[in-house]
């Protein structure tokens, strides 16, 4: 039996006015803070498809993924992987670009080297003929003209070799630049790419020659002035350190401008800009660049001398087998030795050019994240020659 609550007790409704369980009492609105869901909310959980879920896994392409991409560390469209290079990568790439395009590489090298050897032979023909007369003459009959002709011919041969080597290096740089992407190139295409850069390359070669002559000329003048001043002992004492300092300075400058020919060809820079940019690229990795270039020189010299040595031996044997040396014998001996030297140069010149170009590529990867640029180009069409050539540029041309 239900008793009525005493009057005065609030909160207890009279009998018969209790609301069913789960519903608010009549006359009351929704509790504060409740009501319609806040804007932006969808249906309550459990109604409709679960939020955030699309099609069942395994159907269609996964959301957020584009076309398949190669792993950047394993991307290798051509002769090198497109990441900072190791010594093994550089040497393998320098050999690999010759194997990938032997016709253009060895063909260009053979043409330039043969011309260089012929010019050198013509330059030394006069002095060799003069030497033939000297063998039957007395020492008092030696003239300044004969000595001058000999020195002039030797200087001409050195200049021809220097300029020819610079031009050959530029031509081979074009081939290496394409081989990085595995793209082929013909001799004709190489010539089209390089002919506009011949004058800057020649200017760089002449500038380097002037710098070398000025450096050693300054040392010679200092030693000569000390000797003329009546202190020959001081000249001898200071001469050796000065020559050694000049050699060290020459090695330093050579290393710092090592990439200048590559920059002239691939980035199409003027001479002075190529020199300053080479300084910037080498500065952060001087000892690595110097070490790899020195090792390359040792390896290339060993191979070149090993190839040329048998020819030199044959030439010397023919020269001494006839008794007294004659002009004809000297010419024949020199011709045979030149053949061996030419074959050696045809083998090692591409290797040298390949190492320098790939070392430049490695320095750009390490200093400028250039590997990301190369990966972008390789992810497109590596055989689009114009697009891959433009990847090397650092400014509009």
Q: Place 52 in a pLDDT band, splitting at 50, 70 and 90.
A: very low
Q: What pTM was estimated for this model as a whole?
A: 0.76
Question: What are the backbone dihedrals phi and psi of residue 34, each rounded to the nearest 5 degrees, phi first?
Answer: -110, 175
Q: Taking residues 147-170, what's their average pLDDT?
A: 80
CA distance 374 to 387: 11
CA distance 138 to 371: 67
CA distance 150 to 133: 13
- pLDDT value for 379: 72
- pLDDT value for 62: 44
CA distance 131 to 151: 13
156, pLDDT greater than 70 = yes
What is the pLDDT of the chain when averaged over all its residues?
A: 79
When mean pLDDT is compared across 109-113, 146-150, 302-306, 344-348, the lowest value belongs to 146-150
Q: Taking residues 181-207, what's their average pLDDT?
A: 92
- The residue ranking higher by pLDDT, 122 or 211, is 211
| 131 CB burial (10 A radius; 0-12, 13-18, 19+) | middle
Any residues with CB less than 8 A from the CB of 81 and at least 6 apart, and which? 73, 74, 75, 89
Would you say how long the chain is, in residues?
397
> What percent of the chain lies above the pLDDT cut of 70?
71
137, pLDDT greater than 50 = no
Q: Place 200 in a pLDDT band, splitting at 50, 70 and 90.
A: very high
Q: Taking residues 350-365, what's their average pLDDT?
A: 97
Q: Place 332 in a pLDDT band, splitting at 50, 70 and 90.
A: confident
- The residue ranking higher by pLDDT, 381 or 135, is 381
> What percent of the chain lies above the pLDDT cut of 90?
48
Q: Tell me which H or E stretch contains 302.
A: helix 286-321
pLDDT digits (tens, 9 = 90+) for 16-48: 444 444 444 444 444 444 444 444 444 444 444
Q: C-alpha angle 250/255/256, rounded to 5°?
A: 100
What is the Cα 32 distance to its own chain's centre?
Answer: 74
- pLDDT value for 382: 53
383, pLDDT greater than 60 = no
10 Å Cβ neighbour count for 323?
7
- pLDDT value for 324: 65
When mean pLDDT is compared across 25-29, 181-185, 329-333, the lowest value belongs to 25-29
Q: Place 335 in a pLDDT band, splitting at 50, 70 and 90.
A: confident
Q: Place 104 in a pLDDT band, splitting at 50, 70 and 90.
A: very high
Contact status, residue 212 vs residue 162, Cβ threshold 8 Å: no
Q: Tell me which H or E stretch contains 339.
A: helix 327-368
- The residue ranking higher by pLDDT, 74 or 302, is 302
- pLDDT value for 15: 46
Instruction: Return the SS3 of 238.
Output: helix
- Reduce the secondary structure of 228-255 to three states and give it as a string: HCCCHHHHHHHHHHHHHHHHHHHHHHHH
Q: Taking residues 199-224, what's their average pLDDT?
A: 92
Angle subtended by helix axes 198-228 and 232-256, to nearest 10: 160
Which tokens in the block code for residue 97? 């670009």
10 Å Cβ neighbour count for 3?
5
């Amino acid at each position: 039996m239900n008793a009525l609550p005493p009057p005065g007790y609030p909160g207890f409704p009279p009998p018969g006015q209790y609301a069913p369980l789960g519903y608010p009492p009549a006359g009351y609105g929704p509790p504060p803070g409740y009501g319609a869901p806040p804007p932006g909310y969808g249906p309550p959980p459990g109604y409709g498809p679960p939020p955030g879920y699309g099609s069942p896994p395994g159907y269609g392409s996964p959301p957020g993924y584009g076309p398949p991409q190669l792993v950047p560390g394993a991307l290798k469209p051509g002769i090198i992987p497109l990441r900072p290079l190791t010594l093994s990568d550089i040497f393998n790439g320098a050999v690999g670009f010759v194997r990938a395009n032997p016709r253009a590489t060895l063909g260009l090298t053979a043409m330039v080297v043969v011309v260089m050897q012929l010019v050198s032979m013509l330059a030394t023909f006069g002095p060799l003929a003069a030497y033939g007369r000297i063998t039957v003459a007395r020492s008092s009959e030696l003239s300044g003209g004969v000595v001058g002709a000999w020195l002039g011919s030797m200087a001409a041969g050195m200049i021809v070799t220097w300029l020819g080597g610079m031009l050959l290096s530029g031509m081979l740089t074009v081939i290496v630049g394409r081989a990085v992407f595995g793209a082929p190139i013909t001799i004709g295409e190489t010539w089209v790419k390089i002919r506009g850069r011949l004058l800057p390359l020649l200017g760089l070669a002449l500038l380097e020659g002037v710098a070398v002559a000025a450096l050693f000329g300054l040392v010679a003048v200092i030693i000569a002035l000390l000797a003329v001043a009546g202190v020959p002992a001081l000249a001898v004492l200071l001469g050796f350190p000065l020559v050694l300092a000049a050699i060290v300075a020459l090695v330093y400058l050579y290393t710092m401008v090592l990439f200048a020919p590559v920059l002239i060809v691939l980035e199409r820079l003027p001479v002075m800009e190529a020199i300053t940019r080479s300084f910037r690229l080498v500065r952060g990795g001087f000892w690595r660049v110097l070490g790899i270039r020195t090792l390359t020189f040792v390896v290339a010299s060993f191979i070149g001398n090993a190839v040329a040595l048998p020819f030199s031996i044959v030439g010397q044997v023919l020269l001494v087998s006839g008794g007294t040396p004659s002009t004809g014998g000297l010419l024949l001996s020199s011709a045979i030795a030149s053949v061996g030297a030419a074959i050696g140069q045809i083998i090692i010149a591409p290797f040298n050019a390949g190492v320098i170009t790939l070392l430049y590529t490695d320095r750009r990867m390490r200093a400028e994240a250039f590997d990301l640029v190369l990966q972008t180009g390789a992810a497109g069409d590596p055989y689009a020659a114009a697009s891959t050539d433009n990847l090397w540029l650092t400014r509009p041309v």
